[in-house]
Amino acid sequence: DYEKTAAIDAELERKLKAEKERKRKLEEAELKRKREEEARKKAMEEELKRKREEEARQKAIEAERKRREEQQKRIEERTKGAFSNNNAQTGAGKDKGNNQGVTYKPGNQGVKTGGANTDNYGKGGKGSGQKGSGVSFSLKGRNALSLPKPKYPGNDEGVVVVKVTVDKFGKVKTAEPGAHGTTLMNKRFWNEAKKAALAAKFNVDDNAPAFQQGTISYRFVLD
């Protein structure tokens, strides 16, 4: 009887241990499942947050793009006609006589009694110019074949006079904005005027000096 009782007790203890182990494994599995579920939810929340931030960033970019487009549109509307050729008239404009031919030869240029260092070049002559277009030039004896209009880079108004050196083939070799008569000191306007001046074209003149100096004036006006 003792042996039977001992065997029964041993079997009961084994079953209790097995049940306890089963419950432990179930608890561990449930804990693991909960942790995985929490990690999945956290990942979903982070992904949702990332998408919202990306949407907000895209909206900000789009809003900034629209703002710039509207600003540019307003500038274009305000500057519309600043360099319009609708009322342009090509005619004879009076040259102030400050055009200088540079031939790189020794001796004085001009009249025999003139000095080498003088800036006075006499009464001057007639030069072709454009009225009402916002662009005019002074280059004695030469005609403009092309006077590109500069871009309007801001909201200022005024005149930028560019001193140019033109070869006998009509190409502008140098351009220096800020010459006498300039009223607009904004460097952005100077840069645009210089670009336009360098792109200007004049007629070929075999009788012209190798390098001839003159000016191109750009009037920036807001409507």
Does residue 14 lie in a domain region? yes
- The H-assigned helical ranges of 89-199 are 187-198
What CATH number corresponds to the domain at position 163? Answer: 3.30.2420.10
CA dist 58 and 173 (Å) reads 47
Instruction: Label each residue of 7-30 as H, E or C.
Output: HHHHHHHHHHHHHHHHHHHHHHHH
Does residue 99 lie in a domain region? yes
Statement to judge: residues 23 and 100 lie in one domain: no
Quote the DSSP letter at residue 71.
Answer: H
Token code pair at residue 1: 């009887």
Burial of 182 (0-12, 13-18, 19+ CB in 10 A): buried
pTM above 0.75?
Answer: no
Which residue matches tokens 């030869």?
105
Statement to judge: residues 101 and 72 lie in one domain: no
Which residues form the domain of 188?
89-105+123-220
Quote the DSSP letter at residue 127.
Answer: E
Statement to judge: residues 148 and 45 lie in one domain: no
Per-residue pLDDT of the chain in tens (223 residues, 90 and over written 9): 667 777 778 888 888 889 999 999 999 999 999 999 999 999 999 999 999 999 999 999 999 888 888 877 776 666 555 554 433 333 334 444 444 333 333 333 333 333 333 333 333 333 333 333 489 999 999 999 999 999 998 888 899 999 999 999 999 999 999 999 999 999 999 999 999 999 999 999 999 999 999 999 999 988 6
Does residue 23 lie in a domain region? yes
Triad 139, 212, 134: Cα angle to 5°? 30
